[in-house]
Amino acid sequence: AQSVTQLDSHVSVSEGTPVLLRCNYSSSYSPSLFWYVQHPNKGLQLLLKYTSAATLVKGINGFEAEFKKSETSFHLTKPSAHMSDAAEYFCVVTADTGRRALTFGSGTRLQVQP
Amino acid sequence: NAGVTQTPKFQVLKTGQSMTLQCAQDMNHEYMSWYRQDPGMGLRLIHYSVGAGITDQGEVPNGYNVSRSTTEDFPLRLLSAAPSQTSVYFCACRPRAGRGSLDGYTFGSGTRLTVV
């Protein structure tokens, strides 16, 4: 079994300040973890992914995430928010099994204030 | 490259009507899946397919049917629409891969369905 908990449903930051979106996971298997972003009325775009290589993962648009097995966390960060970062972000886990279905967190809506 | 194409983008149905949501991909990916997105619940897996002729149920399969006669197409059928099926539906695909390898999921742009 696997699950994902996104600890904040809404996060609001000012432009130019750091972003932290928190994610905790549980999995019976060695997990692969992803962050996806969804802009309004759009599909989902992959930001970054962790698959048991380096624990610090760099993604697109300046985002990165660190896999911490001891804390079962995979928090998403960005040093300086941009207005275009305003969107909904999903933390996703998939197990290293035959089916490899995705389990989504409930999402975090990021607002960026000017 | 079109990637994953979903049609229609919007649809309004009356309770009890049936319809098919279309999903087509041009990347020759073996694995295809359907998700529904509801506020505050992320995306939930409805049905998936690991290749032509093979389908299986996901987390929330009731009220939906799928078939996979070709690699490219994976239609989702609503047999008798209910207001509880009002949602945004996403189709996704990825290539087959071995254990532990990187898998890139490509999502369609979604179908917004309202059942009245």
Give the model confidence (pLDDT) of B12-46 as tens digits: 999 999 999 999 999 888 889 999 999 888 899 99
Give percent of chain A above pLDDT 90.
66
Give percent of chain A above pLDDT 70.
95
SS3 of B14, please?
Answer: coil
Which residues in chain B have Cβ-Cβ distances shorter than 8 Å to A44? 43, 90, 92, 107
Nearest-CB residue to A106 (from B40, B104, B107): B40
Q: What is the pLDDT of residue A96?
A: 52
**Could you tell me if residue B39 is left (phi over 0), alpha (psi between -120 and 50 degrees) or otherwise beta?**
beta
CA-based nearest distance A12→chain B, Å: 17
Averaged over B70-97, what is the pLDDT? 93
Averaged over B89-100, what is the pLDDT? 75
pLDDT higher than threshold 50 for residue B74? yes
Task: Give CA–CA dist A64/A78, Å, rounded.
Answer: 6
Q: What is the pLDDT of residue B1?
A: 57
Which residues in chain B have Cβ-Cβ distances shorter than 8 Å to A102? 33, 35, 43, 45, 92, 105
pLDDT higher than threshold 50 for residue B53? yes
Most confident of A11-25, A51-65, B26-40: A11-25
pLDDT higher than threshold 80 for residue A110? yes
**Could you tell me if residue A72 is left (phi over 0), alpha (psi between -120 and 50 degrees) or otherwise beta?**
left
pLDDT higher than threshold 60 for residue B112? yes
Dihedral sign of CA atoms A74, A80, A85, A86 in order: positive
List all residues of chain A from 14 to 53 with a beta carbon under 8 Å from chain B: 30, 32, 34, 36, 42-46, 49, 51-52
Strand (E) or helix (H) holding A14: strand A10-14
The answer to whether the bond into A114 is cis (omega within 30° of 0) is no
User: DSSP labels for B61-96?
Assistant: -TTEEE--SSSSB--EEESS--GGG-EEEEEEEE--
Which residues in chain B have Cβ-Cβ distances shorter than 8 Å to A34? 105
Interface contact B40, partner A, CB < 8 A: yes
Q: Are A101 and B40 within 8 A, CB to CB? A: no
